[in-house]
């Protein structure tokens, strides 16, 4: 019996690497898709290459989309990345990249049609996240509905062969994601999460992504193996600041 094919969005971060381990544990034939979208650094591109090779994906594509043409985010424009922001702060932070997951999923949908894949894996999370609107279950459900209308497989397959969006991390806390990954043997030392890393890829320890990551490892009772500019730290919420 042929293995099920899946397109998986791989950023090189903690969540997407855990996601890849989950997909491989379920015996999917994985096609990994990474984006060079004009983000502040190339660290995550390098990490995604190592991770894709380690997990022996069928194919790894790094696609170029220059979202700096639009800006509007601290990740794609000359806007300062927030540091020590309370993780429960209201509002959408400036690290949100406008419509990024919509764009990424659209590319994944196109590749799924060509590859004959009926599953797209994305590591969105609705619990421990920074308030991004395109990480919510409502968005995923809406995109999946759109995919049934916009693709040949959705129209000709009678619904049975339509592409499905898989979000196994959606309702997990960051600590639960770390525990899941460790249980699957994920080597988190090759992953990266920081929005504004140091010259050798070190985490700053203070941006939202670093704080969420550090809290996840703390909640999981594990030590984060990556390097930080000033050594391992804890988010402000756990330091009593």
d(CA 74, CA 81): 6
Backbone φ and ψ of 218, nearest 5°: -60, -45
First to last CA, the chain: 55
Asked whether the CA dihedral 70, 76, 79, 84 is positive or negative, the reply is positive
Query: Each residue of 106-154: pLDDT tens digit?
Result: 999 999 999 999 999 999 998 776 678 899 999 999 999 999 888 877 6
DSSP label of 135: G
pLDDT at res. 240:
42
* Tokens at 95, concatenated: 């690290």
Q: Can you name the CATH fold of 5-196? A: Rossmann fold (3.40.50)
- In the chain, domain spans: 5-196
Query: Each residue of 82-104: pLDDT tens digit?
Result: 999 887 788 889 999 999 999 99
Maximum CA pair distance of the chain?
57
Work out the number of other CB atoms within 10 angstroms of the CB of residue 1.
Answer: 3
């Amino acid at each position: 019996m042929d293995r099920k094919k899946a397109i998986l969005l791989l950023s090189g971060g903690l969540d997407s690497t855990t996601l890849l381990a989950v997909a491989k544990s379920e015996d999917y034939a994985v096609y990994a898709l990474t984006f060079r979208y004009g983000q502040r650094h190339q660290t995550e591109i390098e990490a995604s290459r190592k991770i894709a090779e380690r997990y022996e994906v069928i194919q790894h594509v790094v696609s170029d989309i220059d979202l700096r043409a639009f800006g509007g985010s601290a990740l794609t424009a000359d806007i300062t990345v927030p540091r020590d922001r309370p993780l429960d702060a209201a509002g959408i932070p400036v690290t949100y990249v406008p419509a990024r997951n919509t764009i990424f999923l659209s590319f994944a949908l196109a590749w799924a049609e060509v590859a004959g894949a009926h599953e797209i894996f994305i590591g969105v999370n609705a619990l421990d996240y920074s308030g991004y609107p395109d990480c919510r279950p409502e968005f995923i459900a809406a995109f999946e509905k759109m995919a049934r209308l916009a693709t040949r497989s959705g129209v000709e397959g009678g619904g049975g062969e339509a592409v499905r969006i898989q979000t196994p991390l959606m309702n997990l806390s960051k600590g639960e994601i770390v525990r899941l990954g460790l249980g699957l043997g994920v080597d988190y030392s090759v992953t990266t999460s920081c929005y504004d890393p140091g010259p050798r890829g070190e985490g700053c320890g203070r941006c939202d992504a670093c704080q969420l990551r550090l809290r996840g490892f703390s909640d999981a009772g594990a030590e984060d193996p990556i390097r930080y500019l000033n050594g391992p730290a804890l988010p402000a919420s756990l330091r009593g600041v």
